[in-house]
Amino acid sequence: MNQSLHRDAESGGIRTCAEFSIRKAKPTDAMAIATVYVRSWQAAYPGLVPQSFLDSLTPEGQLGQWQMILASPLSPVGGALVLVTDEDRIVGFASFGASRDDNIEDERVGEVMTLYLDPSVWRRGVGAKLLNKSVEELARGGYHLAILWVLETNARARDFYEHMGWRRDGTSKLHDWNAFVATDVRYRLELARSQPSFR
C-alpha cells in the first residue's frame, strides 16, 4: 500500500495514505461533496475553461444537485463513495453506475461518472484508491467494461487514468456547460483486467 505522506490542509499534521478510508456517501454529505467539487474545479481547470465560470462556482450553487443525486438510488447497480480522513472529513468522492451513453446498448457497461479530490490530497495515492474501489463496485455489480469521460485538454487527469490502465477508445463529444462548450474524450477499462483491490 502506498504510504505517501500528506500534510493536512487544516491541521498542518502529517497523514499517510493508510489514514484515509472510503465509505458510501450519505445525503448529509452533500455540502461537503459540493465543497470538494468546487475546490477541485477551481484548482484543476484554470486555463482549460473560462475563468469567469470557475469564479462563479460556489458550494451552495452545487448543493441542490448533490442532494438530488444522493437522495436518488442509482440503478441497476451504482452509487457514490466518499474518501474521508480519520476524523471523517470528506476530501474526495466518486459516483458510478450504468453507462449513460446513448450509443452503448450493452447493459453490462458501467461508468465512473465523477471522481474529484480536494487539492490538499492530490498526488498522494488516494485518487487511485478511490478509483479502484469504484471499479471494484462496478465489477461486483456484474459490469464487464467501464467507461469514463474526461476533458480533452486535461492532461493531468488523462495521464492519471492512463497510468491506471484506462485507454482512450477514440470517441469524443461536445459537452455544453451553458457557460462554455468543451470537448470530452472517452476512456474504457476491461473490468476483468481492473486494478487489484487496495484492501
Domain ranges of the chain: 21-193
What distances in angstroms separate CA 73 from CA 40, 69, 98, 183, one per listed residue? 25, 8, 12, 29
Using only the alpha carbons of the chain, give its radius of gyration.
Answer: 16
The x, y and z cell numbers of residue 5, run together, are 505522506
Report the distance separating Cα 179 and Cα 100, nearest Å. Answer: 22
Looking at residue 17, its pLDDT comes to 58
Q: What is the structure's pLDDT at 44?
A: 96
What cell was used for 140?
Answer: 461486483
CATH of 21-193, one of 3.90.70.10, 3.40.630.30, 3.40.50.2300, 3.30.470.20: 3.40.630.30
Phi, psi of 93 (to 5 degrees): -160, 160
Alpha helices in the chain (DSSP H): 30-44, 51-56, 59-71, 126-140, 155-163
CA distance linking residue 188 with residue 169, whole number of Å: 7
> Of the candidates 99, 93, 39, 98, which has an alpha carbon nearest to the alpha carbon of residue 66?
93
pLDDT given for residue 197 in this prediction: 41
Q: Residue type for 45, please?
A: Y
Full pLDDT tens readout for the chain, 199 residues: 233 333 343 333 434 556 899 999 999 999 999 999 999 999 999 999 999 999 999 999 999 999 988 887 654 457 899 999 988 899 999 999 989 887 776 778 999 999 999 999 998 899 999 999 999 999 998 999 999 999 999 999 999 999 999 999 999 999 999 889 999 999 999 996 444 443 3
Residue type, 154: N
